[in-house]
Structure 1
Amino acid sequence: MDVDPRRLRVLLAVVRAEGVTGASRVLHLTPQAISQQIGSLEEELGVELFDRTHRRLSPTAIGLTLAGHAERLEAELVAAGRAVAAATGRVSGVVRMAAFQSAIRWLVIEALPILRAEQPGVIPMVIELYGLGVEKSLRTGEIDLMLDERDDDQDDPSAPGIEVRQLLRDPYYVVASASLARELRTPKALAAQRWIAAPEGTSLDLALQRLAKRGKFEPTVAHVCKEFPSVLALVAAGEGVAIVPELALGDARGVEPCPLTGLGARKLLAIQRVSKRGTEPAVDAVVRALTRKKG
């Protein structure tokens, strides 16, 4: 009995996404089309591939077995793509890249012309996404590449099925209004300042907590912002001081970095899927362009 590999791909997407709706986003098909493909596959094989007695679709034993075969077929297609890329030096395909504001502004924008010059067959699609859920979207195939950040003191993500590459190390600076910046020369001098802080648990929040510990003070938080243009605008307006990475200083107006050292840095990371036969050549091409940005 022949098994349609296209329907196996649909089966694998449903298993990974834990449902029809997530699979429809991955494959850019309607949920109805996904359900129809699964139903046709079950009818052809004469077996049930999913347990539908609960609210969430659960693959049956044979469903999981076929999903495993689909993963191996997927890995072989990746290997075929790598062989073609090695022979021709050219790759192609759409690469959906999830990134956050500062990475898009100062990293992705400069890498896109490099990518188009080196690999015109690769079509990058930038999707502004950040936070919880993005890594799941990578695993299910909804996106192909995600850019993430980690503080120096944080470990890089580590899990089966992903590969992590550091793109650059982005040093931190304390910034203040131009009239105040030169006066803030030591961590203790910052004790009396109001802070434009980052959301709890982010890399910049960890950097502020580390600086406060070093200066033996408790930060007085005046505002909490996650996007650097908002942070810099509040600093320029005299609403407080803040920690920002070097990349964000390219958009700074009316603020200056304080003469402090040893603040640490954030790491900008590229995270992609990896199968038993390696990573996808088109995604590799995007990562290479990101590491070769101008400037």
Structure 2
Amino acid sequence: MELSLHRLRMLRELHRRGTVTAAAAALHYTASAVSQQLAQLERDVGAKLFERLGRRVQLTELGMLLTEHAEDILGSVERATLALEEAQDTASVRLTAGVWASVASGLLPTALTTLAADHPGIEVRTRELAPEDTAGAVRDGALDFSFVIDYSDMPMPWEPGLERAVIAVERLHAAVPTGAIPAGSVSLLELAEHPWILAGPRSHFGRAVLIACQRSGFEPKINHEVGEQATAMAMVGAGLGITLVSDLGLTLRPPGVDVVALTSPVMRTVSIAYRTTASRRPSLQFVIDAVRTAAAELGLGVRSPLP
């Protein structure tokens, strides 16, 4: 019998999630692709591993047995990867990172240029995800590390088995149509009567801004619900409303947008999340150092040791 690590990861995720659809979403595959791979795993094993109970899938006794061994096998692969990296004088490895737009445009170009110069054997590939999804993808093994955010008014729920390294602290600023607010600074409450352009309440950013507005004494009138800061600022530039934007998001600012400081700043911390079992990987530490250097060059750096 020859077991595929790829299919064992899908089995593990199915056990965690309970449905093929949820497992596929967590692993960023289609449900059809996961179903086909799981069916092939049953053929590889030569035994029935799953039973359908309505929309959910229940593992048979043999399926549970294989899942337990899958955890051990996948953990051994990660430990072997770490041992090989530690044994090499020059790291040669490929890492996959979870990113979102402002990190990809504001931090990564400088960080990856520095990394390539100092450690040419390390290749970083990126996958753009919603900030709310990146930590879960690291936990599930789909990513080696990801960028995550905590807001001053709303800390992020933390995933067990993950650690984080703080790499930057950002302020949020008001982004308004040119000339709409002539003062150099403004309070959130003074923005209460403006129409807002904001991410939805299911997004971490949208919830954090909503909470900050509520604590300032008002409910923002949201005329346009959009997820990306770049999209929101383009709509601000067209005169459709106002929004808040982070320091890194300012790299995406289009013409027609003024940036106004908040008198009581809303802060957010940007960190790199990684599995606890990967904390000793040299390649990961080299990446964190390169990203911290890029953040420091932008005036956003926070020097703190790798947990």
**What is the TM-score when the length of structure 2 is the normalising length?**
0.75
Q: Report the CA distance shift for 1:223/1:270 in structure 2 as closer, same or farther (over 3 A).
A: same
2:43 corresponds to which letter in structure 1? G
CA contact (8 A) 1:197 1:205 kept: no
CA contact (8 A) 2:172 2:267 kept: yes
The equivalent of 1:199 in structure 2 is 200
The equivalent of 2:303 in structure 1 is none
- Does residue 15 (structure 1) correspond to residue 11 (structure 2)? The answer is yes
CA contact (8 A) 1:172 1:245 kept: yes
Offset from partner CA, 1:12-53 (integer Å, 9 cap, x none): 313222159847959xx986566445423x34xxxx461345
- What's the offset of the Cα at 1:171? 0.7
The equivalent of 2:78 in structure 1 is 78
- Say which SS state the counterpart of residue 112 (structure 2) adopts: helix
- What's the offset of the Cα at 1:243? 1.1
Please identify, of 103-112 and 87-96, the stretch whose mean Cα deviation from structure 2 is larger: 87-96
- Say which SS state the counterpart of residue 115 (structure 1) adopts: helix
The equivalent of 2:162 in structure 1 is 162
Give percent identity, aligned residues only.
Answer: 22
- Does residue 151 (structure 1) correspond to residue 155 (structure 2)? The answer is no
Structure 2 counterparts to residues 149-228 of structure 1, below 5 A: 149-183=149-183, 185-201=186-202, 202-214=204-216, 216-228=217-229
Structure 2 counterparts to residues 36-115 of structure 1, below 5 A: 36-40=40-44, 42-43=45-46, 48=47, 50-52=49-51, 54=53, 57-115=57-115
Counterparts of 1:178 and 1:138 in 2: how far apart (Å)?
Answer: 40
- Say which SS state the counterpart of residue 256 (structure 1) adopts: strand
- Say which SS state the counterpart of residue 181 (structure 1) adopts: coil
CA contact (8 A) 1:15 1:67 kept: yes
Please identify, of 54-63 and 240-249, the stretch whose mean Cα deviation from structure 2 is larger: 54-63
2:220 corresponds to which letter in structure 1? P
The equivalent of 2:301 in structure 1 is none
Offset from partner CA, 1:192-245 (integer Å, 9 cap, x none): 32222222243244224424532x333232322221222222222332222111
Q: Which has the larger radius of gyration?
A: 1
- What's the offset of the Cα at 1:114? 2.0
- What's the offset of the Cα at 1:169? 1.4
**What is the TM-score when the length of structure 1 is the normalising length?**
0.77
Please identify, of 243-252 and 229-238, the stretch whose mean Cα deviation from structure 2 is larger: 229-238
CA contact (8 A) 1:188 1:217 kept: yes
Counterparts of 2:29 and 2:172 in 1: how far apart (Å)?
Answer: 37
- What's the offset of the Cα at 1:274? 3.2
Counterparts of 1:186 and 1:233 in 2: how far apart (Å)?
Answer: 22
Counterparts of 1:66 and 1:288 in 2: how far apart (Å)?
Answer: 39
**Structure 2 unpaired stretches of 5+:** 15-19, 299-307
- Say which SS state the counterpart of residue 197 (structure 2) adopts: strand
Counterparts of 2:180 and 2:187 in 1: how far apart (Å)?
Answer: 13
RMSD: 3.4
Counterparts of 2:139 and 2:11 in 1: how far apart (Å)?
Answer: 11
- Say which SS state the counterpart of residue 179 (structure 1) adopts: coil
Counterparts of 2:111 and 2:154 in 1: how far apart (Å)?
Answer: 26
CA contact (8 A) 1:10 1:37 kept: no
Offset from partner CA, 1:72-106 (integer Å, 9 cap, x none): 34434433433443343432333222211111111
CA contact (8 A) 1:24 1:34 kept: no
2:50 corresponds to which letter in structure 1? D
Q: Report the CA distance shift for 1:114/1:38 in structure 2 as closer, same or farther (over 3 A).
A: farther
The equivalent of 1:272 in structure 2 is 274
Q: Report the CA distance shift for 1:121/1:68 in structure 2 as closer, same or farther (over 3 A).
A: farther
Counterparts of 2:57 and 2:283 in 1: how far apart (Å)?
Answer: 32
Counterparts of 2:29 and 2:235 in 1: how far apart (Å)?
Answer: 38
Counterparts of 1:132 and 1:185 in 2: how far apart (Å)?
Answer: 29
